[in-house]
Structure 1
């Protein structure tokens, strides 16, 4: 694996670390099976991409993409809390609706810039000439691009890790954790569980959309398909992180989720770059299959290792 390839994998791993933090809030803390992630990730990318395409400041574009994800999460939470639609079904409804919305957003760019007379949806939007948050720090010949982008994204991840940890130790954050642990008891203690659930879903999908906003800026374009498998990647990162770094303190748990995301991308990079696997026909089209296998291994191996150590201890 070349150094540039390693940095590229690290960069993607750090972006998906934000996604993993968002998935952690919904799945682990709120106990909310949320598939909105597969729609909010490309939503953040689509909104950010549209803004960049039309000349909006990259930082404002990134913020707007994040806010778009927050709104998507709030709608999912609202469908569950106010309309009593099942959690999983609420997220599926929003995810399906976001697919069409994302197509429309991606098609708005050329229409706004008078490049086409018809406002129609589009599956992608090129951002090769657009300014990003990374542009001021990258040389004209792009020689330092592979260093600048991972470092800036690492800054994002560290700041969000600190903010999320700080929030989860506030009164609202503790209420969110209590709601996910036992909603009935939390409600009996006077916690507005409905509002807390909507707030948690907004934060969760906001983080995921932020990852999408950063992703399109590193890839030079926004595409409708970037959200496929987002929730699986987030869950895989959480499971790997918790398996490798089991912890009880919240700041350590959040850190393990981030490390799990990085390890996941490195595992994927190693698997796709392995000559033996390539010789038997394994390629980039098998990415989701490799992800599924990694998730199974991360779930099964720690349990099997504990059983083996227990048996070994008894036999000794």
Structure 2
């Protein structure tokens, strides 16, 4: 049961990031590499604010806003300067490497890690204290908070995608010419979508930082691979479940991905191989997704 609890906690924390990647990768068809920079940006901003006495909930909002700004920059580089998506993301990621390093050293007085051990966070203060702390001998308060948090974000995304702005976002990713025919600006939709996606990545970083009570500049390494893998796994495995929304599939994909990583830990795989395992799982997810598409096309031809 403890392993299941750990998997769910880790899955829910990073599901927020995966939902952001879903918006940029699946909805906008935009491979955004700046996520590797915005995730630690949110973590560092949240940790530093908590160290300076700011309410942990407010620190989440500020972290999200910082992610929005970074996403806007990626979008502006692509839309206004006509840079390729990959190059736009790489440039913003490179900029954030320096910004994150400066922030963590400035906020901690020269330290490379912002530790918030013993400080209030969203899991041990405020409304979290109303929730049960132990069920069956397990401390489940953090899991409950994360579950509520992820469900709320999922609902907000689903509601947004049903709005006029959300539908334009979908149309921008699938058919830009259609958006132009509607006398709308697809560039504005791209910037908005990338802003929200990176905002969610930064928010995920802030949640992870408060959960682990620390933040550093290396937290974002491999997060693009992680997010893409979670999205591909979720959408590939559950695409035939008619009643399930894509956002739910992404969340489940994140949990499954984290479960695979946790199994590796249980069987004794050294932590040095974590990134290698993430890359292997990503390749497997890609192959699985392509195989599913090929089978679907064959069935359509035979039908």
Query: Could you list the runs of 5+ residues in structure 1 that have no partner in the other structure?
Result: 112-119, 312-316
1:71–1:303 CA distance, 2 compared to 1 (3 A): closer
Q: 1:80 to 1:211 in 2, by over 3 A?
A: same
How far apart, CA to CA, are the structure 2 residues paired with 1:223 and 1:162? 30
**Alignment equivalent of 2:207, drawn from 192, 205, 214:** 214
Partner of 2:301: none
TM-score, scaled to structure 2: 0.89
| 1:68 is aligned to 2:55 | no
Change (3 A) 1:132 1:27: same
Cα pair 1:165 1:250 within 8 Å, conserved: no
The 1-side partners of 2:296 and 2:57 are apart by 51
Listed one character per residue, the Cα deviations across residues 258-316 of structure 1 (whole Å, up to 9, x for unaligned) are: 00001110111012212xxx3xxx311111221222222223346558889999xxxxx
**Preserved CA contact (<8 Å) 1:4 1:146:** no
Deviations 1:143-182 (CA, angstroms, capped at 9, x unpaired): 7884111110111110010000110010000000001111
Matched with 1:187 is: 180
Tell me how far apart the structure 1 counterparts of residues 242 and 25 of structure 2 sit (CA, whole Å): 18
Partner SS, residue 272 of structure 1: helix
CA-CA distance at 1:9 after TM superposition: 2.2
SS in 2 for 1:43: helix
Q: TM-score, normalised by structure 1?
A: 0.86
Equivalent in the alignment of 1:244: 237
CA distance in 2, matches of 1:84, 1:198: 13
Alignment of structure 1 residues 1-316 onto 2, 5 Å: 3-111=1-109, 120=110, 122-136=111-125, 137=128, 146-247=139-240, 252-274=245-267, 278=268, 282-301=269-288
| Contact residue 165 and residue 251 of structure 1 kept, 8 A | no
- Give the equivalent residue in structure 2 for 1:314: none
Larger-Rg structure: 1
Is contact 1:127–1:221 with CA below 8 Å preserved after alignment? Answer: yes
Bigger Cα displacement from structure 2, 178-187 vs 49-58: 178-187
Compute the displacement of 1:131 (Å): 1.1
